[in-house]
Amino acid sequence: MNQYQLIKLAKQLGKWALIAVVMVYAIFPFYYAVITSLKPSSELFQVDFWLSSVDFSNYIQIFTQKSFVRAIFNSIFISLSVVFIALLLGITASYALGRVRFRGRTTVMLTLLGVSMFPQVAVLSGLFEVIRTLNLYNNPGGLILSYTIFTLPFTVWVLTTFMRQLPMELEEAAIMDGATPWETIIKVFLPLMWPAMATTGLLAFIAAWNEFLFALTFTLTDDQRTVPVAIALISGGSQHELPWGPIMAASVTVTVPLVILVMIFQRRIVSGLTAGAVKG
Amino acid sequence: MSTPATESAPQTGRSTKAGYRGTKVRRQRVRAAWTFLTPMLVALVLVAGWPLLRTFYLSLTDASLSDTAGAAWIGFENYLVYDNGAWYGLLTDPVWWNSVWNTVYFSLVSVSLEVVFGIIVALLLNAEFKGRMLVRAAVLIPWAIPTIVSAKMWAWMLNDQFGIINHLLMTLGLIDAPLAWTADADLSMWAVIMVDVWKTIPFVALLVLAALQMLPKDCYEAAEVDGIHPVKVFFRVTLPLITPALLVAVIFRLLDALRVFDVIYVLTSNSTSTMTMSIYARQQLVEFQDVGYGSAASTLLFLIIALAVVIYLYLGRRQLGVDQ
């Protein structure tokens, strides 16, 4: 009995130790970036684990830079457009792939998988030509177009998996009522799919927000940059004199909205994955 | 599409009208399916199919970045050419083969670590404890941070002179002198792997956790009643049941890792010790403006990844559920 209790206690201790390690590992780099960004440049090079005073000079420095503010708006506009397009095309395509049996379905699924494996570099020169031909070089449109290459296959793939898991009865009822496929999607699947759409939409948003290679290659001037490129290109006098304070301030600025978004959506992401059943 | 006759065959008890209705609905549904798929397929041809074909073509020309239309056909000279008693071209370039090896090494090591840690984190998050939601949210933070930002954060933490990691290691007495994490050829690959693993564990954990939460509770109750060791239950029950989700996570991660670009570009720039295929190809394409040669590198990268996918699909065909 005593031994049993001891084992139980050890297990509890082990579990909480693991939780603590995971928490510190996940949060610390971000926490350290926040601390660094709030230090004056004179204290930058001494290692501190806590903040003794708060100094906003790094933030003032980046927000008075027009190109950085512009980059934030570019990123927001591009990411939202990408999410909208991916979900619109994704929900209809996933209905077709997940609910309808037709010849060529496997081929389309394999094509999707094939496209999702496309290394971005493999299409770089071809896509550069397409974008230049469409007059979208150094333009948000070019990035929105090129980002569908990685958001669309992923969105369709995940939404199709969700669509397949929904019970057949739902759709049979809609068919008996004489609903067209479009009405079935809008009235039956959309209300049930929104947790899945939130998940995939968030994934698409983050993927678009994070994208670097296309944004670096298909834009030329500072006013067309997205946030990742703007941050990567912040430079000091030489390679060894990077302005770490402003870099961390910019990093924290673009990360905080995403972290908040994830905090809000995480419950839905996780519980949404298990939700969805016929009621009544 | 199976024939309508076999579809309505079992319904002999019902009226012919119901059978007819079934086929009409079916035909309408198949037509709608293709209508729904068309916009997606058009978009994919525009951004993926056509550019890929152009890249293949350009790799056989001497195109430069400023002028891709006026490129001249030079056959396989970008890949391999014999000139004046020596072989030239991409296939003889040691820097290219070094970048191939770097990419494979990076992918295998980082994805393995991510899967192992991802499963551990998912199992932890699946357990009941106070503050679970808080931990779950915290774990997702690295995933939400843009890759460039996480690379910069780690670059600062790994800074050789002022970085906190060197400070910690020296305080603990593990090292005597500061390590040049991103500049040292032996360490920089590990620095890159470290950042990538940190960033992508949540992705794997999230997918595994979703699978864990769909598992039936009754087998676990049965296992507990029978007094089976939890480790055995994990390998015999949990792991087989979450394998489909795990395979999806692995394939997405593996494909991401094989084309890795941004984390390395920011952390170690064009250094040869961490140069991957993507970095090499982009350097040729954009910095050296040699679209022909760069496209040849891109084409080889594509072929290598395609080979990896074919092997993967062959091995995991049953579980992926594509051909169901």
Instruction: Verify whether the Cβ–Cβ distance B36 to A92 is below 8 Å.
Output: yes
* Contact predicate A95/A193, CB 8 Å: no
Of A146, A149, A248, the CB nearest to B156: A248
Question: What whole-number distance in Å separates Cα of residue B312 and Cα of residue B314?
Answer: 5
Instruction: Tell me the count of A-B CB pairs closer than 8 A.
Output: 284
- Give me the pLDDT at residue B208, please: 86
**Exposure letters A121-158 (e unless 16+ CB within 10 A, then b):** bbbbbbbbbbbeeeebbbbbebbbbbbbbbbbbbbbbb
Of B53, B136, B282, the CB nearest to A270: B136
Does residue B317 or residue A50 have the better pLDDT? A50
Instruction: Verify whether the Cβ–Cβ distance A125 to B291 is below 8 Å.
Output: yes
Within the 30-89 window of chain B, which residues sit less than 8 Å (CB to CB) from chain A? 30, 32-34, 36-37, 39-41, 43-44, 46-48, 50-55, 58, 63, 65, 68
pLDDT at residue B92 is higher than 80: yes
Number of C-beta neighbours around residue B322 at 10 A: 16
Within the 12-71 window of chain A, which residues sit less than 8 Å (CB to CB) from chain B? 15-16, 18-19, 22-23, 25-27, 29-30, 32-33, 36, 44-47
Q: CATH homologous superfamily of domain A65-274?
A: MetI-like (1.10.3720.10)
Across all residues in chain B, what is the average pLDDT?
A: 82
In chain A, the residue whose alpha carbon lies closest to the alpha carbon of B280 is A121
Could you please report the per-residue DSSP string of B146-168? Answer: -HHHHHHHHHHHT-TTT-HHHHH
- Give me the pLDDT at residue B80, please: 84
- Give me the pLDDT at residue B322, please: 44
Which residue type, as a one-letter code, is found at position B11?
A: Q
For A217, residues 6+ apart whose C-beta sits below 8 A from its C-beta are A124, A128, B282, B286
pLDDT at residue B78 is higher than 70: yes
Tell me which chain A residues have a C-beta less than 8 angstroms from the C-beta of B286. Answer: 217
B25 part of contact set with chain A, CB < 8 Å: yes
pLDDT of B258-282, one tens digit each?
Answer: 989 989 998 887 788 889 999 999 9
Q: Partners of B83 in the beta sheet?
A: B86
Within the 69-108 window of chain A, which residues sit less than 8 Å (CB to CB) from chain B? 85, 89-90, 92-93, 95-97, 99-103, 106, 108
- Give me the pLDDT at residue B316, please: 67
Instruction: Verify whether the Cβ–Cβ distance A15 to B127 is below 8 Å.
Output: yes
CATH topology of domain B87-320: MetI-like fold (1.10.3720)
| Residue whose tokens read 């933490």 | B157
Tell me which chain B residues have a C-beta less than 8 angstroms from the C-beta of A152. Answer: 40, 43-44
pLDDT at residue B21 is higher than 70: no
Instruction: Verify whether the Cβ–Cβ distance A251 to B137 is below 8 Å.
Output: no
pLDDT at residue B182 is higher than 80: yes
Of A30, A210, A273, the CB nearest to B153: A30
Both tokens of residue A150?
């990685």
- Give me the pLDDT at residue A279, please: 20
Tell me which chain A residues have a C-beta less than 8 angstroms from the C-beta of B53. Answer: 126
Does residue A18 or residue B10 have the better pLDDT? A18
Query: A237: exposed, middle or buried (C-beta count within 10 Å: 0-12, 13-18, 19+)?
Result: exposed
Instruction: Verify whether the Cβ–Cβ distance A125 to B32 is below 8 Å.
Output: no
- Give me the pLDDT at residue A102, please: 84
Residue B67 backbone phi and psi in degrees, to 5 = -145, 95
Does residue B104 or residue B310 have the better pLDDT? B104
Q: What is the mean pLDDT of residues B215-226?
A: 82
- Give me the pLDDT at residue A259, please: 83
- Give me the pLDDT at residue A237, please: 59
In chain B, the residue whose alpha carbon lies closest to the alpha carbon of A142 is B47
pLDDT at residue B61 is higher than 90: no
Which residue type, as a one-letter code, is found at position A49?
A: F
Of B47, B58, B298, the CB nearest to A145: B47
- Give me the pLDDT at residue B318, please: 54
For B133, residues 6+ apart whose C-beta sits below 8 A from its C-beta are A266, A267
pLDDT of B229-245, one tens digit each?
Answer: 888 888 888 888 888 77
Which residues of chain A are under the pLDDT cut of 70?
1, 236-240, 267-280
Q: Which of A57-61, A176-180, B11-15, B319-323 has the highest average model confidence (pLDDT)?
A: A57-61
- Give me the pLDDT at residue B1, please: 38
Provide the 3-class DSSP secondary structure of residue B192. Answer: helix
Question: What whole-number distance in Å separates Cα of residue A254 and Cα of residue A259?
Answer: 9
* Contact predicate B244/B321, CB 8 Å: yes
pLDDT of B115-165, one tens digit each?
Answer: 999 999 999 988 888 888 888 888 888 887 888 999 999 999 998 888 888
pLDDT of B188-197, one tens digit each?
Answer: 999 999 999 9
Per-domain residue ranges for chain B? 4-58, 87-320
pLDDT band at B53 (very low <50, low <70, confident <90, very high): very high
SS3 content of chain B, % helix, strand, coil (to 5): 70, 5, 25
Write out the E strands in B33-180.
81-83, 86-88
A168 part of contact set with chain B, CB < 8 Å: no
- Give me the pLDDT at residue A56, please: 87
